Chain A
């Protein structure tokens, strides 16, 4: 069994599944987003060629990352930015804190950045007396609820509007019982405008960084990254080292794929290209490794670094849709999270590669053609070899291997199982058998196929 302090996907998924209508709604909502993605993909005859090109560009980036990082740094500095390097999450957080302390600020705005979630920046800054206001509406909602985002593109997809109305009533003083999305969005606009206007520092994530120009592209629908960054005296952009693309023209490929894959829009409302700080402003870029260079060295798993964080693999995943983002207990949930997380901590995230049916739908929708389901399968082997698989699973697999490798044992086991299911079904169909959860076992056949074949051939 897992040691008690380790979180487990199956246990957390069971909690999410306690409310069945909620699960069905979650499932259907995400499938609807997946269908919007399909309509967009099918409307472009060159869709598959675009995926191939995107994957090839990212492959080129992985093979030249050292050179591109140096080129990006050189050009960003020439543009007037300061470039910082962080080997891990702790160093990233220290760099950001130091910059904020330099500015003497106590309250700042931040737009969507999964990297800062990965580094747990908000709680670190809170411990140091600095409050971060998340400005993406979905992120602000989960922040008010004191929860992490459950989806990288749709942070509060697990929340019903009535719960959001309740949160806004409590924190923003909206009338009790008002759960109208239009009304609540307007209330958030007013609340966050005040924050934008007061904040002297803005943190943003980065969708793409261009080696050739030293610029960064940030994509939002709400305009929150721009409201924050353009009003601030200091703009801090935090990015993983894998976010690079070689040249500006390559953005064409990725901006065509990103929003279509993510939400089924032809492009996000805003695709902002930041290269020079505005006059009088400081621009700081924090380049973060945090395990990425290690993943780059794992031949079987390095393709995961191609990810552009569109979330399409989550929207299509039958396990994600029915277990919810929080069951992955990692900043990035879903299939892509399950192949990124074990690189960060194999013990802590040993359960995630097993939280999949290996149906391959994730790989089919991935805009950069990451072989996600194959990597899930390979992680299972690595995790088991390293002794990180749960003991019950390891024992079960050993037993299974012993039975399946011997025809005699296999025949005996089949016979015993058929007899047991017929005479004492309760012995197998009970709550101690994980295969019995949420499903009935089939009627046992009267005879095995081998016996039938012997008789009828």
Chain B
């Protein structure tokens, strides 16, 4: 018998009687999640939250906050138009071509108020490593896609299949040295959330 069959047989012989799964509906009671609730948690997670009324304000915002960053790349076609320095072929390659990107701008499918997390899919990232390898990250989030909890989030994304998806809740961080919090471990050193 090979290991696979051996393991499966042992598991089958030893597993206890089956029990029912709990009902999770009670955790996802209909409710609203305000921008303010999201902002408060996101800021404690180390994110910077900026609210704008229209995406047309993004170019001005880039000037105000990111003028010191020469190489800005966006995976979103509308926003990419405002990033003139991005190489046209930035999507081509195994991801290493992005090692000098200063700022990546991507679009979130939804945000979660209880923990400040943003759900990003492969389609929105174009290149999977983009939000990790860029020195800084900015995420555009529609205010009406903010949900109260992770249960609400999975109710939306549960059936959607993506090759890769990630919840990002703040800049990359570590507290491995004497529990001192340091932002910018391996991924983006800062996260700016632009709520529209």
Determine if A238 is an interface residue (Cβ-Cβ < 8 Å): no
* Bound Cα distance from A62 to B153, whole angstroms: 26
With a cutoff of 8 Å between Cβ atoms, the chain B residues found around residue A253 in the complex are 24, 27, 151
Q: Which of A99-107, A183-191, A367-375, A448-456 is the interface stretch?
A: A183-191
Given contacts A267-B117, A278-B163, A296-B11, contact A227 B129 (CB under 8 A): yes
Majority SS at the chain B contact face: loop
* Bound Cα distance from A145 to B15, whole angstroms: 41
With a cutoff of 8 Å between Cβ atoms, the chain B residues found around residue A302 in the complex are 14, 16
Cβ contact within 8 Å between B173 and A66:
no
- CB within 8 Å of B: which of A1-53? 29, 32-33, 46, 49-50, 52-53
Cβ contact within 8 Å between A227 and B186:
yes
Cβ contact within 8 Å between A196 and B179:
no
When the two chains form the complex, which single residue of B22, B27, B158, B182 contacts A56, counting CB atoms closer than 8 Å? B22
* Bound Cα distance from A184 to B105, whole angstroms: 28
Nearest opposing residue in chain A for B182, CB measure: A185
* Bound Cα distance from A289 to B151, whole angstroms: 31
* Bound Cα distance from A13 to B114, whole angstroms: 40
Determine if B85 is an interface residue (Cβ-Cβ < 8 Å): no
Q: Chain B interface: which size bin?
A: 35 or more
Determine if B109 is an interface residue (Cβ-Cβ < 8 Å): no
Cβ contact within 8 Å between A293 and B14:
yes
With a cutoff of 8 Å between Cβ atoms, the chain A residues found around residue B17 in the complex are 63
When the two chains form the complex, which single residue of B6, B22, B26, B158 contacts A57, counting CB atoms closer than 8 Å? B22
When the two chains form the complex, which single residue of B6, B7, B41, B182 contacts A266, counting CB atoms closer than 8 Å? B41
Determine if A113 is an interface residue (Cβ-Cβ < 8 Å): no
Determine if A273 is an interface residue (Cβ-Cβ < 8 Å): yes
With a cutoff of 8 Å between Cβ atoms, the chain A residues found around residue B179 in the complex are 29, 32-33, 154, 157
Q: Mark B34-64, 1 if CB is under 8 A from A, else 0.
A: 0000000100010000000000000000000
When the two chains form the complex, which single residue of A64, A164, A226, A289 contacts B166, counting CB atoms closer than 8 Å? A226
Given contacts A241-B7, A296-B15, A297-B13, contact A137 B149 (CB under 8 A): no
Determine if B88 is an interface residue (Cβ-Cβ < 8 Å): no
Given contacts A87-B7, A160-B178, A278-B128, contact A60 B166 (CB under 8 A): no
Cβ contact within 8 Å between A161 and B177:
yes
Cβ contact within 8 Å between B166 and A181:
no
Q: Which of B65-73, B74-82, B94-102, B138-146 is the interface stretch?
A: B94-102
With a cutoff of 8 Å between Cβ atoms, the chain A residues found around residue B8 in the complex are 66, 69-70
Q: Mark A58-82, 1 if CB is under 8 A from B, else 0.
A: 0110111110011000000001000
* Bound Cα distance from A53 to B20, whole angstroms: 11
Of A196, A230, A278, A302, the most chain B CB neighbours within 10 A belong to A230
Cβ contact within 8 Å between A222 and B172:
yes
* Bound Cα distance from A193 to B114, whole angstroms: 32
Q: List 8 A-B contacts (CB under 8 A).
A: A53-B27, A56-B19, A196-B186, A197-B99, A252-B27, A256-B149, A266-B45, A294-B14
Extra contacts, 13 of them, besides A273-B162, A275-B161 (Cβ < 8 A), are A57-B22, A87-B6, A160-B178, A185-B174, A185-B177, A193-B186, A197-B96, A222-B186, A249-B154, A267-B150, A278-B128, A296-B14, A296-B15
